[in-house]
Amino acid sequence: MNQKDHRAQPLLNLMQELLDDASLALGQYRSLITTALVQLSRNSGLYPERYGDVYEGNLGGRIVAVKMMRGCGYGRDPAMLMKAFSKEAVLWAQLSSPYVLQFYGIYAIANPSPRLGLVSPWMKNGNLTEYLNESPRMDRLSLMTDIAFGLDYLHSFDPPVIHGDLKGPNILITDEHRACVADFGLCLLVQNSALQITMTSSSNAQGSLFWMAPELFNDNEDCARKNFATDVYAFGCVCYEIFNGKPPFFDLRPCQARISIKESRPLPRPVHPDLDDTIWTLILQCLHGDPGTRPSMDEVRQQLSLRHNR
């Protein structure tokens, strides 16, 4: 229960896989494993990786990425798995924007146990977090603008789409060194609206601590539901990450970070020559503790477009 970071993640994954394996008769151990899983997740600030093995593949001569799902159907009939994810795949296939990762299709494996893979373009430059570490001289304003265009595209889609887990690892860098929003592994209809769709990350359906809006820590279920404003907050965290190298409060322990986020404590301004007063003010607006005060992604996109002369 005291494990953190790289020591906690494999334990969380193992416990989740045990709970997901329909072929195991866990009996009384199911409740014990569930309790341990919840406690370790709370202590570490991490969540089980539902699926996340990314393989390099070949599709008609093109190099592609195949992201295999974990823990979501072991022991089930492949046809049932395909049916369960068909509507998610169909929705993703409708999205068409240079700022959103393209979806090629589903790859199914029957043996030794049924698994599904999501096929998309291979991004040799990796994700935003990796790119920030390896390419310190990149155009940060351009990356911010790309991400704003991608998120605004989702919010403007018919029906509107809420990403639900925007963060550095879920933003990929193209061969042209542009950013595109990614990780649409699971898609879920929001309960109170047939016109609003939440696409949550394949690696963490409940969100990621350091990119979560303060209201998501509210005990009130209605307040803790992801929406456009929580996406905007996550965008602000990503922008902070672009200039700081790490998201807000990343240097704190998970329990301390959770309190700091919930209380909307002030953040130190990153020291970077590309971060001027206008951009810093926009980031702070996105990170505002009051969801109603945050700008819409359309407003953010327009401001960044003017700065970037698009």
- Check residue 74 and give its pLDDT: 40
Q: Select from 180, 216, 214, 210 the least CA-distant residue to 198.
A: 216
SS3 content of the chain, % helix, strand, coil (to 5): 45, 15, 45
CA distances from 145 to 45, 95, 135, 302 (A): 29, 19, 18, 9
What pTM value is reported for the model? 0.76
Res 194: pLDDT:
40
- Amino acid 1: pLDDT: 82
Helix pair angle (277-286, 297-308), 10° resolution: 170
Q: What is the pLDDT of residue 34?
A: 83
pLDDT of residue 123: 92
- Tell which residue, 226, 152, 150, has the closest CA to residue 183: 150
**pLDDT at res. 308:** 67
Q: CA-CA distance, 205 to 185, in Å (whole number)?
A: 9
Give the catalytic positions in this structure.
Answer: 165
Task: Specify the 3-state DSSP secondary structure of 190.
Answer: coil
Are residues 142 and 178 in contact, defined by beta-carbon separation less than 8 angstroms? yes
Exposed/middle/buried for 292, CB within 10 Å: 0-12, 13-18, 19+? exposed
Per-residue pLDDT, 134: 85
Q: What integer pLDDT is reported at residue 72 of this predicted model?
A: 46
pLDDT tens over the chain, length 310 residues: 888 766 787 888 788 778 766 667 888 888 888 888 878 877 776 666 654 578 889 998 999 998 876 544 444 455 555 555 565 567 777 889 999 999 888 887 776 666 777 889 999 998 998 898 888 788 999 999 999 999 999 999 888 888 888 999 899 999 999 999 987 544 433 333 444 445 544 334 344 789 999 998 876 655 567 889 999 999 999 999 999 999 999 888 888 888 999 999 999 999 999 999 999 999 999 999 999 999 999 999 999 988 766 5
